[in-house]
Structure 1
């Protein structure tokens, strides 16, 4: 039986979040978290291929149809982690699984490590830990971030003359995607403005991070995971071909982690139906287990 996706809003004490919901009301609860500068449509091809789940795909703060943070607030990893926990509390979920892509996977790891009693399972797509930085670099990085925040009002968004132009720009973006993936993301991520269209993401999402976790921090979070983990690494994605990341993986005790290496790019679950099916085959039984 198919279940049409529906739209909901989740009012948190500090921000209003939008979400796209898939699956039966009595399905296994799964919170889906998308990647940086994406939105809930990231799971549009994958979610229908995961039967028996109640998937709530958030537009994370500052993305898609969700609210923007108040002036002076930021978009750090722990801010997204707080949003995730508050959202599931509003949904009435005492325990749940997380399906995360890229940034969403990183946030999922932080949440699962910090409050392991709340998380049943982690299904991660090309995302595990953030870019790290060692302590000696912290003063310089903080300085760069502070100056960028002061100058944020000078950042201008690109205005596209048509939705089609925005789609092509997304296809060729920093993390290239297929035309289908770009169309899906544009459908939730573009707003009309004077003279055309622009991405509705908060410009503050593009500011540099004021503080990065060290490698030891990253190792500690992964080693603190108590739930089963299923990690899809895209063969043409962001992680497999980064020697530092693969070296990091070699330092981990992966007793509770199953790793799948799957053909495709960083957005393999969204680029086409074949990629979505390949990811679904890694996650369907894993996430549906009670």
Structure 2
């Protein structure tokens, strides 16, 4: 995997570092409405655009939540953030869960706002979405090529439970 820097904007200069990760079909502008209410003295916020969205719309990659988690770790390294928290909306919550699996020691807190599970979620057939057996494996894809299909359903290879990867001394809420 080549090094990639997620498009982002920084707000605040506090010691507690926070990534704000958007959901499906949106970008970092989803957080614009809450910017005036953020505490910028205690926190530094990085609002990011994941690959395939906003400023990262044309980025090359696998477009999975696992890749997005690795991209956050890469950005944290570039920003000099040893430990950080994540606020993730919808798919961004799944990215935060994946982050627990790849770098639990780096995560201070994880806040999911209407999060979807990183292991995917099967919906009833009447919703017109593929069954888990019809979905190609890959675990938590957020692919640009499948967006219009409202892809859901458990991948054929279910990833490990992320609850077991909770960082020692951390509170997940």
Answer 1 or 2: which has greater helix percent: 1
| Conservation of the 8 A alpha-carbon contact between 2:27 and 2:48 | yes
Q: Helix, strand or coil: the match of 2:55?
A: coil
2:30 pairs, out of 38, 42, 60, with: 42
What is the CA-CA distance between 1:37 and the residue it aligns to? Answer: 1.5
- Residue equivalent to 2:172: 229
- After superposition, the C-alpha distances for 1:36-78 in whole angstroms (9 at most, x for unaligned) are 12111111122332312100010111111125233xx421111
- C-alpha deviations, 1:192-229, integer Å up to 9, x for none? xxxxxxxxxx84351666994579746x2124323212
1:223-263 CA-partner distances (Å, limit 9, x unpaired) = 43232122xxxxxxxxxxxxxxxxxxxxxxxxxxxxxxxxx
TM-score for the superposition, normalised by structure 1: 0.46
Residue 54 of structure 1, aligned match among 26, 44, 63 = 44
- Which residue of structure 2 aligns with residue 123 of structure 1? 111
Unaligned 5+ residue runs, structure 1?
Answer: 1-11, 146-201, 231-290
Instruction: Write the distance in 2 (CA, Å) between the matches of 1:205 and 1:82.
Output: 21
Give the paired residue count: 155
Structure 2-normalised TM-score? 0.74
Q: Is the 8 A contact 1:31 1:55 kept in 2?
A: yes
CA RMSD of aligned residues (A): 3.2
How far apart in 2 are the matches of 1:107 and 1:80? 6
- Secondary structure of the corresponding residue to residue 75 of structure 2: helix
